[in-house]
Amino acid sequence: MTEKLAILGSTGSIGTQGLEVCDSVGTIEVLGLTANKNIGLLEDQIRKYRPKLAAVMNEDKARALKENVKDTDTKILAGMEGICTVAAMEGTDTVLNSLVGNVGLHPTVEAINSGKTLALANKETLVTSGELVMKLVKEKGIKLHPVDSEHSAIFQCLQGNKGNKIKKIHLTASGGPFRGYKSLKDVTLNQALHHPNWDMGKKITIDSATMMNKGLEVIEAKWLFDVDVDQINVVVHPQSIIHSMVEFEDSAVIAQLGEPDMRLPISYALTYPKRVKNDFPKVDFFKIGTLTFEKPDLKVFRCLGLALKAIKTGGTAPAVLNAANEVAVSRALKKDIKFYEIGELIEKTVDAYTVKYNYTLSDVFEADEWAREYARNIEV
């Protein structure tokens, strides 16, 4: 169970909820915090939790924060070097990586190399470099606890079932705001930013609307649980009560259920193997009444299909897919492209790239950089 924690991305959705979990548990000391540029909230967190270190990716903002909190004992660091220093800092036993995007890869590697338990919410780490990261996890002998609700559910279903072979993973998806639509051409950005079940940041909310997030989660699940892609079945479950299921060789299916509240998987990741009492919302089965399941429509949600194709292609293809998606979502949020053009931009980028196999981390970063440059400039 976590005693001393560093949170990477403490001002984001997962980071702030991670701090709520710390408040609820009551025994976790927060020693490190990082943010991209939201120094107002980070200053509030510094004054409340009194961490030893805090880092800000934006160096100008870091200088401003340093001046603002000079009356505290918290040391302020800047840039990627600062983020990585917090990830590897002395005194912590666990790092919650809730950074958004491939920027989370370097700090993940630093945390693993430093022997920390890793509570991983940064999906891009495994999407772009899953094979390399999981190999490093095994070499260093560290514990990796998934934070995504679906992967946490699978992780929980496997407890007490070690040694039993997985037949299939049923990865659930809410279907997002456009479940049942026959086309996404007429939907608006504003509609896409309103998820029916989850309260998340803009990037992941858009990913949910395109169902790219589920494609990325398939890739994560493959590496986390050492299964073939064909063993992962995406199931649209609009109530978001069953967070995923594991089917074993005897055809028994074990499911994990709970309210759509990210504090629950965060809590399990930080307090594992214990389950700590909290006052978070509880499932009311009589109020829910019915749980339903559907197949995803890959023609409408082309991003899901593109992700499945990328992981089957292998090599650096998922890294290119991920980078193209990040750029496409950014362009859509700036209204530079229409929402439905996100998939088109990603597909054009992936198709223009020559995949590299037997890759290294350097190859991943090169693929990422190439894809971003291509996706920024392509017309759709």
In this prediction, residue 196 carries a pLDDT of 79
In this prediction, residue 87 carries a pLDDT of 98
The structure's pTM equals 0.94
In this prediction, residue 163 carries a pLDDT of 87
In this prediction, residue 57 carries a pLDDT of 97
In this prediction, residue 119 carries a pLDDT of 98
Peptide bond into 296 cis (omega under 30): no
In this prediction, residue 380 carries a pLDDT of 86
In this prediction, residue 162 carries a pLDDT of 84
Q: Which residues of the chain have pLDDT under 70?
A: none
Both tokens of 268, joined, read 């399990």
In this prediction, residue 102 carries a pLDDT of 86
- Angle formed by the axes of helices 361-377 and 105-113, nearest 10°: 170
In this prediction, residue 174 carries a pLDDT of 93
In this prediction, residue 204 carries a pLDDT of 87
In this prediction, residue 300 carries a pLDDT of 96
Amino acid found at 323: A
Report the chain's terminal Cα–Cα distance, integer Å: 49
The residues, any chain, with a CB within 8 Å of residue 323's CB and separated by 6 or more, are 102, 128, 349, 367, 368, 369, 371, 372, 375
